[in-house]
Structure formats: structure tokens, C-alpha cells
Chains A and B, each alone.
Chain A
Amino acid sequence: MKPTSWILKFLFLSLLTLLSMGVINFILDPFQQYRKAQFYKPIYDNERYLNPGLAKTYDYNEVIIGSSMTENFLLSDTRDILGFTKPIKFSMSGATAYEIKIMLDSAYQHRKIDSVIYGIDLFSFTGESTRLFHGEGSLPFYLYDNNRLNDYRYLLSFDTFKFFVDSFVLSKPEVMFDFNRMYQWQHTFNEDDFNRKDRIDEWREKYGFNPDYTKNEYTLKAMKANIDTNLIPLIQHHPETTFYLFYPPYSILAFKDMQNKGWLNTVEQFKYYLFTQLAHYPNVKIYDFQASKEVTCNLDNYKDLLHYHQRINSWMLGEMKNKSYLIEDTTELQQYNQSLSKNIQEFSESELNCVKIMTKTLSPKVNHVI
């Protein structure tokens, strides 16, 4: 073979192969970028890739968004309890405030949104205000914009094909295909993973969750910047949307850890700042579930120091409806802050008593959810 003909054939063959792969990926479209899945049952997995597709191709009026603290919400619950009509979930595990902003901005380009339930995970608001949870390059911006030209990263990718094969050809738990439970992690744990004894052990051993609150990313300044750039503009630009902001109830031990390391004070100031910046917008409701002794002090609700059971998600929706834990003014805000401190104090003094009381009051109420 002549060198020139080898070169031309090489280029032709390569381009042809790449093009075929692109066409195949376009037809399979596992992240539903171009159309709602038609010839296969879609899986709800890999949130940061799938969400922007769903935002374009699904029909929805209400959005649930936030970190893993929001992944267990049942869409049916939002319909039953809050009267939502066409809810969808755009949660991302570990979501940063910036990632949430990018996602909501993308959704607003395609749909009118009546309500947003937004979990104000304290950790989402730490760090740089352009922080991506999994680091640089971890969010596929080319799927979030309206530019089709940069979709080659999606179409000319073997991983796109792999994801399709992996999700639809090989077996996955049925619950991952359930739109109502999209992105939930509850089923990956056993009921007895949520227990007090392990949490106390975890607290003593400090495995898993042990942030260094002295780092720069945890400063009030960084957190305020996140509010300013990633939260306020959303609310300002979308008066047609009601925002249900809520502080997720981590276990009391997580707050004790914050207090021990001097971060709780920052958290209080953060909440104060957020409230004073947003209170005058009529389309915002802010709920502070972190003051709820009945949830946070009952360690049987938790699978680690932060993550609560799915029944707590349902419970929160009910409380939103009842307007309990709704912060109406700064006095109430201070009261919530004070009761959180008081809860920590009491829990530290007599752990056992606190747990006992709570198991009694909450357990019967929540069991029906599961």
C-alpha cells in the first residue's frame, strides 16, 4: 500500500467509525437529551448527567433540588401532602449551591416552574462560590446549555454507550427505574443500619464524617458569597416560583461536632444572613428543621451522623404544610438557634433519656411511610 493511500484510508475509516458511534449514541440517548426515553425503561442514575436531559424533555411544574438530603423525597408525597401537580427531582449527591444554581437556570430555560423545594444543606454553601463537588471538570456543562454543537462530548463518547449497556442491558434494582423514587438511596441500606448504637460508636470513633471546620472553605465569608451568587439571584429573577427552603435535620451529634469545633456560631450567623437577605421576598418560605428535637435527638433516624431515614423526608413535607418550623421573623430565628443549642446541651447531659423519649413519640407516626 502507498503511504498516502494508507493515510487517507486511516482517516476515512476513523471518521466513519466515530460518526457511527455518534449516531448510535444519538439514538440510544441514555441521558434523554433529545427525547423522552421511548423504546426502553429509563433508569434514574447519574444525576449530574441525567438532570439536564430531564429538564429539557420532561414535563414538570415543581422541582425538588438539593443534596443527598433531598434524594429520598417521594414525588407522590409532594402531590399528596403539598398538592404538587407535576413534580420532578433534580437532586445531586453532594450538590454545591453552584451546581444547584446551574441546574435550576438550565431548567428555567425550558419550563415554567411553580414551586421549588430546595434543601439548604450547610455544606453546599461552603467553599468557593463556583465549587463543583467532585472537582474541576466533573460537571458536564455541555449538557446544561442550549448549544448542540458541543454535544460531541456526549455523542462521541464510549462511556455514553457503556452507560446505556450497563443500565439497560444488565440488571439493576427495580427501584432505580421508578420515577416516583428517582435518585433515592434509602433502599441501599437496611432498616437496622439506622440505629442509635452505631451512631454513638461513630461519634466516639469519628469515622466517616469529620470535617475540619477551621479551613477557609467554612468561613462565614465564603458561605455568604454562596448565598449572594448562587441563591439570591434565583429567587430575585423568578417571582413566579414559590421557594420552599429548608435546613435539613442532621443528627444532634453532627451539631455537637460543629459546636465543639466552633462552627455552630458561623452556622447561626449564616442562617441570620440568609433570612435577612431573603425574608422580604414574598415567594420564599424558610423552614429550620434543625431545631426539631424529636428528629435530631432520635439517633434511630440516622444511618450516619448526617443522613436521616426516608420517613423524615415525608415528615418534613407534612411540617411544611403545617407551617411548623417556618421562620417568620428574626425573633423566631433566634429561638430556633437557641433550641438547637439547648438540644445539644441536653443531649450531652443525658443522652439516654433524650433518645428514650423520642423513640416513643415519633416511631408510631412514621412507620406508615415505609
Chain B
Amino acid sequence: MLFNSYEYIFLFLPITFGIYFWLNKKRLTQASKGWIVFASLFFYSWWNVIYLPLILGSILFNFAIGSSITHINSTFLSKKRLSSKSILTFGITANVLLLVYYKYMDFFITNANMMAGTHWELMQIILPLGISFFTFTQIAYLVDAYRNEVKEMDYLNYTLFVTFFPHLLAGPILHHKEMMPQFDDVRNKVLNPKNIAAGMYLFAIGLFKKVVIADTFAIWVSYGYGDTASLSLMCAWATSLSYTFQLYFDFSGYTDMALAVALLFNIKLPINFNSPYKAVNIQDFWRRWHMTLSRFLRDYIYIPLGGNRHGELRTYGNLFSVFLVGGLWHGASWMFVIWGALHGGAIVLHRAWQQSGRKMNTILAWFLTFNFINITWIFFRAKEWDDAVNILSGMVGLNGIEEFSDVLEFGGLSTIELFMMGIVLMIGVSSFFTPNSNQMAKSFRLSNKSLLFGAFLMCMGILHLSKISAFLYFNF
């Protein structure tokens, strides 16, 4: 189920919410947890129930591994038959293999076929929803258990931690300790109108960002990326910038909705985006973009690789590898690897610059950073290398410079859609200096202003759930 759907907003969410607090009111706390788990699994299986056993199996397996690590850690050294480290290694390997099988198998086969000239058939595996997220969440859990930072001996609690529907499909990637103590706090088991109001407000913002702003940019993006060879200067820029904005408003809007819904249940999830396009260097960007992924990569890959403790050269190597892995995590394609490599390279360069002690004018630094990000998103979005090169050539004017009136015809927008595009462009640009949704939620006051603003965004969001698909190519 998607957050931006009728069935979620009008049925799933109110029912789940109502029954949860009703059960808590009856002091049936275990039942209320069980209810959320059931609802979350229902949410997960909405489109396709075939991967339900997979996620349940993954949860059971990781719970068993986590419990035995905790168990061994708490017994005397002499009685140990297996070290907790070997169990951890086994657990992580199994998780990684599962991810590799479902996400990267066809990618490996394609590459093997290409390099060795073999003709293995592709397995045509459908990627199970959220597998990248629930796998990473659980790897983090296992490591935390190994480091004695977490103890969870209750299967229901553990399942709740992994499946809690706000974060299940697209994060944020959580630590156990960030959420479960909140579920056990009795004060959080009663309705909290303040949280509910703030949650509704944030949900409205997130929904608007996703279905109005991002989905409007999407029109130019799919048009531009649909035929990259013909993009001249301004249209190429329109395409790349639209994607840069689309991606941010889409993903951060979705995360806003996740945080907002968790807040209805009195659960505070960690923020995931902090105005990334205001970043003044690439390191700053990664502290603001998909923050819980950066945190995961730092804590569970960069630091175990040695971090910055083995000299400069090794640090550069570690940073670069982390970004290669991070790139590949986003999808099974060389384009993601290239994207990761570009960012890895930039991080290394930035570190070297920093070590040299040189300073840069803030505005220039922001300008360079934003343009670098904008350009690298092209590699992230493009299906083929040639598409990326086409757009870049367009952006430097190699495909010619068009009249401004041609830009107005770009994407075959109707007059009113062009008007909408103008509005979202202004919102996109204003995101460079206006507060982001988390700051807006933080400064949220129960006023008429917030009421009108929130209700307006909510209604616009809901009115954009059902779209009349405008088709650009009618010649068939």
C-alpha cells in the first residue's frame, strides 16, 4: 500500500489507529502490539502476498540469530561453544545473500553473460517490496546485539520493530533503540491530541510534496529522459533540474508522511532529510540527504573497514568503497555504481581540500555542490550511459540552443499544466532558503494559520491522488 492512496488515507490508517488506541484503552497492550504487527503485514501484502513468507522468514531468522548472540554474550566465556562473532558473521552473510539473490542476481547474470559470452537465462525475479530496507535494518540490529547495545527476547516486539508500517517500505532505517522503548512507554499508549495535530500537519505537507510537487516535476522528467538525444540547452537543464527536485520532494515527502503517521501513534522516528540542497559541500550533503542511510553506511561499513584510523590513504579508500556500496544499494545497475563512484570521488576530493586547510566562499561552495549533485543525479536516473551523456551534452549546449518558446512546449504541457509547473518550480527554488518540513513541524503552532495552511495542503494532496493520465505520444 502506498501512503499516497485513498485506501491508505481513508481506510487503513483510521482503522489501524482507532483499534490500536481502543485496545490500549482496554489495557490490552500485547494485543495492541499484535494488532499493529497484523496491520503492518496486511499493509505489506496489499499488492502481492507472495513475499509475505519471505519477510516473515527473514524476521524469524534474524530474531533467532540476534537472540543467540545476546544469549552467548551473557554466558560465561568458558561455556561458549560458538563465538558470538561467528554467529554474527553467519547472520550478516545470510542477509546479504538474500539481498543479492533477490536484487542483484539478474544483474550478475547479465554481466557474466556479457563478459564470458555465456547464455544463462535471466531469472526474472521480482524485487520484494522494501527488501533493501528491512535487510539493512536487521543487519544493524544484529551488529547492535553483538555490541551488547540491544537486547530483545520478545518475538512480537522484534516483529513490531521490523514491520511497523510507517518505516517498512522506504525507511527511515531504524535502530531498535530508537523505537521500541517508545512503544513500551505507558505514556505513549494514550491518545495525544498535540501529536495528532502535529502529525496531521506534517502528513499534509508530505502528501503535498509527493503528489503535487514531485509528481508535477515528473512530467518533464519522463519526457526529457524519454528522448534524451533531442534535448537542447534549456530543455536539458529543465530535465535534469526537474529530476533533482522530483527526487527530493518525492522521497522527503514520503519520509514526512512516515514520520507524521508514526507521530499519530506517539512514536518519534529519526529525521531523514534536512534541506540537502542547502549543503555547502558534499560531506554536508550526505549529512542532510537520506540521513539514516548515511548513518548506517558509516556505522556498519565505514567504521568496520577501519574508518580514518589507518592513515590518510586508507581513509580515502574506505570512503570510496562505502560510496560504491551505497551506490549499488540503490539498485542493480552500473549507473548506480557510477553515481556512487562520482560521489565517493567527490568526498575524497573534499576531504583532501579540507586537509589542505583552504577555505571557499560559501555561496560559491553551495553553487558547486548543488551543481555537482544535479549532474550526478543524471547518472542516477539515466537507464543507459548514452542517455546521461546526451543530457550532459545538451546542458553544455552541444545539441544547440532553442528559443524560449520551445521550452514552453517542452513536455507537451497544456496551459494550465504549464502554470502548475511554474508554481512548483518556484516552490523548488524557494527550498534553497525556506525552512524544510521538519522545521515547519517543529515550529508548528495550533493557530488558524496552521489550520488553513494544513487543510489546504491536505485537500490539494487528496485531490491529486487520482490523475488523468496525459499521454504525450498519441501516434499509434
Give chain A's interface residues, CB within 8 Å of chain B. 1-4, 6-7, 9-10, 13-14, 17-18, 21, 46, 48-49, 67-68, 93-94, 123, 133-134, 137-138, 140, 152-154, 156-160, 162-163, 165-166, 170, 185, 304, 306-307
Chain A residues in 8 Å Cβ range of B459: 14, 17-18, 21
Contact of B475 among A14, A170, A304 (CB under 8 A): A304
B471 and A134 form a contact (CB under 8 A): yes
Instruction: Let me know if B430 is at the binding interface, CB within 8 A.
Output: no
Main secondary structure of the interface of B (DSSP, over half): helix
Chain B residues in 8 Å Cβ range of A160: 468
Contact sample, A vs B, 14 pairs, CB 8 Å cutoff:
A1-B448, A6-B450, A10-B200, A10-B451, A17-B456, A49-B468, A93-B471, A94-B474, A158-B460, A158-B463, A166-B414, A166-B417, A170-B414, A307-B475
A68 and B455 form a contact (CB under 8 A): no
Known: A17-B455, A68-B475, A166-B415. 11 other contacts (CB 8 A): A3-B197, A14-B458, A21-B463, A46-B468, A48-B469, A134-B469, A153-B6, A157-B467, A158-B463, A162-B414, A166-B414
Interface string of B445-476 (1 = CB under 8 A from A): 01110111011101110111111111101111
Instruction: Let me know if B193 is at the binding interface, CB within 8 A.
Output: yes
Interface residues of B in 409-429 (CB under 8 A from A): 414-417
Instruction: Let me know if B196 is at the binding interface, CB within 8 A.
Output: yes
Chain B residues in 8 Å Cβ range of A123: 476
Q: Which residue of B lies closest to A307 (CB)?
A: B475
Main secondary structure of the interface of A (DSSP, over half): helix
Instruction: Let me know if B383 is at the binding interface, CB within 8 A.
Output: no
Give chain B's interface residues, CB within 8 Å of chain A. 6, 193-194, 196-197, 200, 414-417, 446-448, 450-452, 454-456, 458-460, 462-471, 473-476
Give A7 to B471 CA distance when docked, in angstroms: 39
Chain A residues in 8 Å Cβ range of B200: 7, 10
Closest-CB distance, A93 to chain B (whole angstroms)? 4
Give A176 to B194 CA distance when docked, in angstroms: 53
Chain B residues in 8 Å Cβ range of A48: 469
B446 and A152 form a contact (CB under 8 A): no
A14 and B455 form a contact (CB under 8 A): yes
Contact of B193 among A4, A17, A140 (CB under 8 A): A4
Chain B residues in 8 Å Cβ range of A1: 446-448, 451
A7 and B475 form a contact (CB under 8 A): no
B468 and A13 form a contact (CB under 8 A): no
B466 and A153 form a contact (CB under 8 A): yes
A163 and B468 form a contact (CB under 8 A): yes
Q: Which residue of A lies closest to B470 (CB)?
A: A46
Chain A residues in 8 Å Cβ range of B415: 166, 170
Chain B residues in 8 Å Cβ range of A185: 474-475
Q: Which residue of A lies closest to B462 (CB)?
A: A18
Chain B residues in 8 Å Cβ range of A158: 460, 463-464
A162 and B466 form a contact (CB under 8 A): no
Closest-CB distance, B25 to chain A (whole angstroms)? 16
